[in-house]
């Protein structure tokens, strides 16, 4: 059986040489079990050592190999070449982010937004270590487990048209993670997070296109997290208006 050949068109951007990104084509033979990341590693190792991209685990866990593959945000470690053959494959950096070099994006904006929602357990007062851990029931864990599966791959940001048009939008992954901690029975930081996620750049910017959930490789469902947060925020607002005596 003859080896399959496929053409990959890869974004190249070397800021010391070019004013804007360009495209370079590579033709390669591939076995049936190769993914796009395998092809990129082959190009870098055996064809063109100047090609630059991020990756780490190759197991869909680290989230660092996210790129645009034929216009869709994908983890390149999970995008099989055979699924695109015999058509060409276009590999680009995640859209809506500044490009540092080739397929590498600047993550600064995302990291600032992630930090803004306080993605850790907040306690008003910590109990002494001698008293042991904060226990949870299986049901309490189940409340937030789905939203804890995010790997910060940023595919949802590249799929989100709101983030594309309004870069101030906090974005799906950050809001989903805020929802995760707000649901955690050990956490007491919801009020502080609310100042961020219920702001004009937070949940109310979302128009429920749902593309964030479609591209999520871990089925976190950030669209659902955003809508649940909208409901909870509206409910709390209504309670404060109708029963102001109930708010201490």
Task: Quote the CA–CA distance of 211 and 202 in Å, as a whole number.
Answer: 17
- Which long-range contacts (C-beta less than 8 Å, at least 24 apart) are formed by 131-136? 134/185, 134/186, 136/185, 136/186
**Average pLDDT for residues 199-214, to the nearest whole number?**
95
Select from 140, 200, 202 the least CA-distant residue to 176.
Answer: 202
Dihedral angle, C-alpha 199, 185, 142, 231, nearest 10 °: -30
Residue 167 has pLDDT above 90, yes or no: yes
176, 226 contact by CB (below 8 A): yes
Average pLDDT of the chain to the nearest whole number: 95
Beta carbons within 8 Å of 139's beta carbon, 6+ residues apart? none
**According to the model, what pLDDT value does residue 248 have?**
52
Sequence-distant (6+) residues with CB within 8 A of 240 are 246, 247
C-alpha dihedral sign at 47, 52, 56, 62: negative
Of 201, 187, 25, which Cα lies nearest the Cα of 112?
A: 201
CATH 3.10.20.30 is the classification of domain 4-105: yes
| pTM metric for this prediction | 0.92
Helices marked H in 7-160: 36-42, 108-116, 138-144, 155-159
DSSP secondary structure string for all residues of 27-71: EEEE-TT-BHHHHHHHIIIII-TT-----S-SSSSS-TTEEEETT
State the architecture of 108-246 in CATH terms.
Orthogonal Bundle (1.10)
Tracing tokens 């949940």 back to the chain, one arrives at 203
pLDDT value at 238 more than 90: no
- b/e sequence 18-30, b meaning 16+ C-beta within 10 Å: eeebeeeebebeb
- Domain spans of the chain, in order of start: 4-105, 108-246
Tokens of 72: 């869709």
Nearest to 90 by CA among 72, 70, 104: 70
Quickly state the pLDDT bin for 151 (edges 50, 70, 90).
Answer: very high
pLDDT in tens, 92-148: 999 999 999 999 999 999 999 999 999 999 999 999 999 999 999 999 999 999 999
Q: What phi, psi does 198 have (nearest 5°)?
A: -100, 10
């Amino acid at each position: 059986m003859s080896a399959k050949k496929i053409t990959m068109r890869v974004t190249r951007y070397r800021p010391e040489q070019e004013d804007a990104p360009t495209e370079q084509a590579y033709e390669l033979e591939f076995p049936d079990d190769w993914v796009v990341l395998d092809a990129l590693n082959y190009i870098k190792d055996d064809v063109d050592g100047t090609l630059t991209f991020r990756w780490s685990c190759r197991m869909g866990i680290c989230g660092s190999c996210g790129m645009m593959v034929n216009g869709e945000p994908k983890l390149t470690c999970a995008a099989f070449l055979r699924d695109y053959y015999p058509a060409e494959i276009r590999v680009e950096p995640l859209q809506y982010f500044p490009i540092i070099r080739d397929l590498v994006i600047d993550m600064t904006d995302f990291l600032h937004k992630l930090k803004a929602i306080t993605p850790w357990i907040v306690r008003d007062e910590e109990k002494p270590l001698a008293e042991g851990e904060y226990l949870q029931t299986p049901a309490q864990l189940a409340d937030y487990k789905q939203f804890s599966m995010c790997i910060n791959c940023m595919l949802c940001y590249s799929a989100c048209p709101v983030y594309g048009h309004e870069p101030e939008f906090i974005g799906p992954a950050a809001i989903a993670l805020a929802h995760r901690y707000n649901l955690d029975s050990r956490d007491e930081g919801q009020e502080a997070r609310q100042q961020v996620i219920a702001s004009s750049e937070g949940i109310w910017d979302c128009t429920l296109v749902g593309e964030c959930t479609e591209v999520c490789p871990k089925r976190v469902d950030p669209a659902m997290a955003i809508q649940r947060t909208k409901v909870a925020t509206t409910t709390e607002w209504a309670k404060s208006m109708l029963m102001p005596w109930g708010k201490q």
